[in-house]
Chain A
Amino acid sequence: MTDWLALLSWVPLLAGAFFFLAGTVGLLRFPDIYSRLHAITKADTLGLGLVTLGLIMRAENWQAVAVMVLIWLLMMGSGATTCQLLARYQQDLEAPDADKEPVHARR
């Protein structure tokens, strides 16, 4: 592994850390569930993606890279799905008859 690559990897790592921090602040400070979801999914997708990119630059071998990319893809998928589910659940609570799509049971 070359030194300049390790040095360069600090850029995405720090950017990723920034997005995580911003996402957390957003989660704590934003007024309603939709904007909070917006904030936290940015941390999940972009933050984790940048951290993964930084770690890939420091990876020892290709297997490690493949595993990290897989984890990132899974996290993106689960983040996007959970975000949608939470948002729809909230929408359902606010206006139960707004749409006629099959909706989750009221809890």
Chain B
Amino acid sequence: MPDAEWLFDGTLGILLLVLAGAALHARSLYAAVVMFIALGLMLALTWARLGAPDLALAEAAIGAGVTGALLFSTLYKAGMDRHKRATPNRIALLLPGLAFLLLLTAAWPLPEMHSPLPDQVMAHLKDSGVSHPVTAVLLNFRAWDTLLEVSVVLIALLGVRQLYPSHGEVPTPWPLMLAWGRLLAPLTVIVGGYLLWRGTDAPGGAFQAGTVLAAGGVALRLIGVLPPLGWHQWPVRLLVLAGVLVFVAVAALTAWLGQGWLHYPTGSSKVLILLIELMATASIATTLTLLVVGEKRELRP
């Protein structure tokens, strides 16, 4: 039934625009954050409809989940009602307009245009060590981009560390919250591990798995099962840095001993990709947990 599909997609498209407008123009910041989370969920649904389950998973976990939690915790730290709405000036309006035009010219010929890239990816998929094309692109053909992305997450944490006040005392949890958190946390480990492992031949991967694990970490911290976490503890520091360290080490070793920067030797691609993904997952999970419920304490020299 093409009609029902058109109805669904049309509703989804309109809903996206309405939610985006509502997130920008909501009366209170609190309402704006709620709208933003709803927008993230609808966007995830849109990606799924467009046949991009990898992006849908990432958007649902990171765009709606973690970003929502971060926005709420920022709102709480900054004070609910103490805010001033900036009036947009002309130049600031010009920029998104320009970006919109650029994106439109890029997206307009998409239905007719046939990009040679998918065929190229499929042709070399055998050599990549994984059977899912998205993972092959992210961790083999364009591994450099992913290395930079993992670094961006690290830099974000370092930046936030300089700015944010410590997360306050975690209140005594209700028994119900305690029970539910204890039930949820192992589930996040199962789901996160599944997403990570499936990433080699199906949608999933380090970012999605790390985010799900971080949700479990935050839940455990909020119910007081985990002790306060912070940069001052060396295991936490090691976990945060593990992803970038392993990635850079692999890159340097392949450049030094092998054929080139992030050019995996044939045969060991799968092992290397799994190692990088595993470490990146641990790093992303720890970093996101710290971003939401991290303690700020200075290191003693």
Contact A88 B174, beta carbon cutoff 8 Å:
yes
Contacts of A85 in B (CB 8 A): 174, 176-177
A29 beta carbon closer than 8 Å to chain B: no
Contact B180 A81, beta carbon cutoff 8 Å:
yes
A95 to B172, CA, bound (A): 18
Contacts of B173 in A (CB 8 A): 102
Residue of B nearest to A70 (CB): B187
Contacts of A107 in B (CB 8 A): 76
A88 to B176, CA, bound (A): 11
Contact B183 A104, beta carbon cutoff 8 Å:
no
Contacts of A101 in B (CB 8 A): 174
Number of chain A residues close to chain B: CB under 8 A: 13
Residue of B nearest to A105 (CB): B171
B75-105 contacts to A, CB under 8 A, are 76
Partner of B183, one of A77, A102, A103: A77
A107 to B169, CA, bound (A): 12
Contacts of A77 in B (CB 8 A): 180, 183
A23 to B76, CA, bound (A): 29
Give the residue among B174, B176, B177, B183 with the most A Cβ atoms within 10 A: B174
A7 to B173, CA, bound (A): 47
Contact B171 A81, beta carbon cutoff 8 Å:
no
Contact B180 A104, beta carbon cutoff 8 Å:
no
Contacts of B180 in A (CB 8 A): 77-78, 81
Residue of A nearest to B171 (CB): A105
Contact B174 A102, beta carbon cutoff 8 Å:
yes
A84 beta carbon closer than 8 Å to chain B: yes
B174-217, CB under 8 A of A: which get 1 and which 0? 10110010010001000000000000000000000000000000
Partner of B171, one of A78, A84, A88, A104: A104
Interface residues of chain A, those whose CB is within 8 Å of chain B, are: 74, 77-78, 81, 84-85, 88, 101-105, 107
The 10 closest A-B pairs by CB, nearest first: A105-B171, A102-B172, A81-B180, A104-B171, A84-B176, A81-B176, A85-B177, A88-B174, A107-B76, A102-B174
Apart from A77-B183, A81-B177, A84-B176: 12 A-B pairs, beta carbons within 8 A: A77-B180, A78-B180, A81-B176, A81-B180, A85-B174, A85-B177, A102-B172, A102-B173, A102-B174, A103-B172, A103-B174, A105-B169
